[in-house]
Amino acid sequence: MRLLLGLLILLVFPATELLLLIALGQRYGWGLLGYLLFMMLAGWLLIQDERIAVFGRLAQTLKQGDHPLLALLTSAKKFCAGVLFILPGVLSDVLGLLILLLPLQWLRLPKPQAGDDHVIEGEWRRDDQDLLK
């Protein structure tokens, strides 16, 4: 049953996108093409910006003592929105905008605790140094 529902979604989404593009194309003409090109460029720039910003966001999150999964989820959210912006269609753009505006503050991740890592501190020296001379 789940497979059938998944296949139905995979078939209905592109068909709906196509019908919506045809209807909007008849109404707005070349303006729709300009919009689609603009959204493709915006999605590409969002992905390129996120590719660079993910490491800085991860470092800042770790520095603040927050869970690193929060930074990774924020980056994944922006990447998925960028991919949906690149796909031609108005419905995918709306879905990408909803994903982009989705707040992650409701996600309660525990702060990482500094645990006992069983490190024994001390000093050492090599005894075989006399053998090498």
For 51-77, the pLDDT digits (tens) are: 989 999 999 988 888 788 888 888 999
CB 85 within 8 A of CB 40: yes
Q: What percent of the chain has pLDDT over 90?
A: 50
Does residue 73 belong to any structural domain of this protein?
A: yes
Does residue 71 form part of some domain? yes
Task: Give me the domain span that covers residue 94.
Answer: 29-104
- Answer yes or no: is 12 within a domain: no
- 115 assigned to some structural domain: no
In-domain check, residue 49: yes
Indicate whether 78 belongs to any domain: yes
Number of folded domains that form the chain: 1
- Evaluate whether residue 72 is within a structural domain: yes
Going from the C-alpha of 85 to that of each of 21, 35, 76, 109, the distances in angstroms are 14, 11, 14, 29
Indicate whether 50 pLDDT > 70: yes
- pLDDT confidence tier of residue 114, bands split at 50, 70 and 90: low
- CA separation for the pair 33, 109 (Å, rounded): 42
The stretch 103-107 carries a mean pLDDT of 72
Using alpha carbons, list the distances in angstroms from residue 8 to 20, 70, 93, 127: 18, 32, 21, 73
- Residue, of 107 and 61, whose pLDDT is higher: 61
Whether residue 125 is contained in a domain is answered as: no
